[in-house]
């Protein structure tokens, strides 16, 4: 009996890992709720409105009410859809952003634990692998709905997301030429010592930022949805909690790319003063680093929201034109210039 118990006991790293996964989901879900509320309040401020302020103090419980509403609505499945894919699509849209978050170091240390769920040495490759999965949710939804508007939305989405993924992937290559490592923890270490990559690779940052808008299907790149012409694009036929999953997936994706941008360009959990660029010695220091990370994340989220309410939408061909004829060549040129510079600097 004792021996059996011994063999069942798993190493503490496993339990810590499980705890961190729980924490990440436990933090991400409320963050999404907060982002939805922020979107509604900020858009209201931009549009001279008040926004939701009835549910709870300052409307803080509004996301809860929204979620409850989604759950209680009739989950209607139209007769003409391809059922299996129709059910699969919302889940496929929801999962990738959560997986992306796994490799993001969202703090320095808490006691003996690194604040990253999976400290992969191929972090960024993993990230792009997962991000490219997120297109499946949308394409599947467009295909499964078996009607014309979602179909057009799905086609647009696949073209758009694949195009911008390439530009996005190319834009970060110079970063890793500089850092010399694919591990995101190492990227942060590099920035703590040598300054943020935002200032060293501004072009890469701009390309990545724009591609991030396109990847998350946010205005001005919300072609797959484009409410005015495609009604709601790929999720036209969805209702109730299935629609909510797409909705959550979009915000989760925003949070995931924001976290990625914070890590890659803004030094992650570090700040270049008060010695905040060194791993924390105490729990309070660890919490402070968490705060810094989420502060930067919040800034990006506000940017996402702000841009959405100030811009019209691109046309599909203009978007492809921009992606293939400007961003991809620019990103490639950036790689060559960086490589040349490194080669010359090395003598």
Partner 1 sequence: MPAPETREIEAPDALARAADNLEELEGERMTLNMGPSHPSTHGVLRLVLELDGEVITDARPEIGYLHRGDEKIAENMTYTQFIPYTDRLDYLAPLANNVAYALAVEKLMGVERALPPRCQYIRVICCELARISAHLLGLGAYAMDVGALTVFLHTFTEREKIYNLIEALTGARFTTTYTRIGGLARDLPEGWVEQCRRFLEEVKVNFDETEKLLTRNRIFVDRTRDVGVLPLEVAVDYGISGPNLRASGSDHDLRKAHPYLVYDQLEFDVPVGSVGDCYDRYLVRIEEMRQSVRILEQCLRQLPDGPIAIDDGKTVLPPKEKVLTAMEELVHQFMLVTQGVKVPKGQVYFGAENPKGELGFYINSLGGGAPHRLKIRAPSFVNLSVLPRLLKGNMVSDTVAILGSIDFVMGECDR
The least distance separating partner 1 from the CB of residue 182, rounded to whole angstroms, comes to 35
- Should residue 219 be labelled a site residue for partner 1 when binding is judged by CB under 8 A? yes
- Should residue 187 be labelled a site residue for partner 1 when binding is judged by CB under 8 A? no
- Residue where the block lists tokens 């040349």: 340
**Interacting residues with partner 1 between 289 and 308 (CB under 8 A):** none
Instruction: Kindly tell me which of 49 and 69 has the beta carbon lying closer to partner 1.
Output: 49
Of the CA atoms within 13 Å of residue 135, those in its CB half-sphere come to: 17
- Should residue 16 be labelled a site residue for partner 1 when binding is judged by CB under 8 A? no
CB 152 within 8 A of CB 230: yes
Instruction: Kindly tell me which of 152 and 297 has the beta carbon lying closer to partner 1.
Output: 152
The residue within the footprint of partner 1, chosen from 69, 80, 83, 315 (CB under 8 A), is 315
The least distance separating partner 1 from the CB of residue 125, rounded to whole angstroms, comes to 33
- Should residue 250 be labelled a site residue for partner 1 when binding is judged by CB under 8 A? no
217: left (phi over 0), alpha (psi -120 to 50) or beta: left
- Should residue 231 be labelled a site residue for partner 1 when binding is judged by CB under 8 A? yes
Q: Pull the structure tokens for residue 297.
A: 């994340």
**Burial class for 22, CB neighbours closer than 10 Å (0-12, 13-18, 19+):** exposed
The residue within the footprint of partner 1, chosen from 15, 68, 148, 202 (CB under 8 A), is 148
What is the Cα–Cα distance from 37 to 70, expressed in whole angstroms?
15
CA-wise closest residue to 39 among 69, 72, 66: 66
CA-wise closest residue to 211 among 171, 247, 251, 175: 171
Stretch that binds partner 1, among 15-23, 219-227, 261-269, 329-337 (CB under 8 A): 219-227
Instruction: Kindly tell me which of 17 and 220 has the beta carbon lying closer to partner 1.
Output: 220
The residue within the footprint of partner 1, chosen from 189, 222, 237, 277 (CB under 8 A), is 222
**Burial class for 198, CB neighbours closer than 10 Å (0-12, 13-18, 19+):** middle
The least distance separating partner 1 from the CB of residue 157, rounded to whole angstroms, comes to 13
The least distance separating partner 1 from the CB of residue 287, rounded to whole angstroms, comes to 37
The residue within the footprint of partner 1, chosen from 310, 336, 339, 342 (CB under 8 A), is 310
Count of positions on this chain that bind partner 1 (CB under 8 A): 28
Stretch that binds partner 1, among 44-52, 73-81, 135-143, 242-250 (CB under 8 A): 44-52
Go through the chain and tell me how many residues it has. Answer: 347
The residue within the footprint of partner 1, chosen from 37, 313, 323, 334 (CB under 8 A), is 313
The residue within the footprint of partner 1, chosen from 51, 220, 279, 298 (CB under 8 A), is 220
Other Cβ atoms within 10 Å of 271 Cβ, number:
16
The least distance separating partner 1 from the CB of residue 297, rounded to whole angstroms, comes to 24
- Should residue 140 be labelled a site residue for partner 1 when binding is judged by CB under 8 A? no
Instruction: Kindly tell me which of 152 and 290 has the beta carbon lying closer to partner 1.
Output: 152
The residue within the footprint of partner 1, chosen from 84, 91, 180, 227 (CB under 8 A), is 227
The residue within the footprint of partner 1, chosen from 12, 25, 49, 281 (CB under 8 A), is 49
- Contacts with partner 1 by CB under 8 A lie at 43, 46-49, 148-149, 152, 219-220, 222-223, 226-231, 309-318
């Amino acid at each position: 009996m004792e021996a059996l118990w011994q063999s069942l006991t798993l190493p503490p790293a496993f339990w810590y890992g499980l705890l961190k996964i729980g924490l990440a989901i436990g933090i991400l879900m409320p963050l999404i709720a907060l982002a939805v509320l922020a979107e509604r309040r900020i858009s209201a401020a931009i549009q001279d409105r008040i926004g939701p302020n009835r549910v709870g103090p300052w409307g803080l419980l509004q996301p809860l009410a929204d979620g409850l509403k989604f759950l209680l609505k009739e989950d209607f499945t139209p007769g003409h859809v391809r059922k299996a894919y129709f059910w699969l699509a919302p889940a496929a849209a929801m999962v990738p952003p959560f997986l992306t978050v796994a490799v993001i170091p969202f703090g320095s240390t808490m006691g003996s634990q690194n604040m990253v769920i999976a400290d992969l040495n191929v972090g960024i490759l993993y990230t792009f692998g997962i991000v490219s999965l997120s297109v499946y949710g949308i394409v599947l939804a467009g295909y499964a709905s078996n009607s014309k508007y979602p179909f057009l939305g799905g086609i647009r989405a696949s073209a758009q997301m694949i195009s911008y993924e390439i530009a996005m992937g190319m834009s970060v290559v110079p970063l890793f030429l500089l850092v010399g490592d694919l591990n995101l923890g190492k990227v942060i270490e590099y920035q703590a010592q040598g300054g943020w990559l935002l200032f060293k690779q501004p072009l890469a940052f701009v390309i990545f930022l724009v591609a991030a808008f396109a990847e998350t299907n946010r205005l001005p790149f919300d072609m797959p949805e484009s409410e005015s012409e495609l009604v709601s694009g790929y999720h036209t036929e969805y209702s109730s909690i299935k629609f909510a999953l797409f909705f959550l997936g979009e915000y989760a994706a925003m949070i995931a790319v924001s976290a990625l941008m914070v890590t890659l360009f803004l030094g992650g959990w570090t700040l270049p003063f008060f010695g905040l660029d060194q791993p924390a010695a105490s729990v309070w220091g660890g919490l402070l680093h968490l705060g810094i990370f989420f502060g930067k994340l919040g800034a990006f989220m506000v940017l996402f929201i702000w841009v959405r309410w100030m811009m019209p939408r691109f046309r599909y061909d203009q978007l492809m034109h921009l992606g293939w004829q400007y961003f991809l060549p620019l990103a490639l040129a950036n790689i060559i210039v960086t490589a040349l510079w490194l080669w010359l600097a090395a003598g």
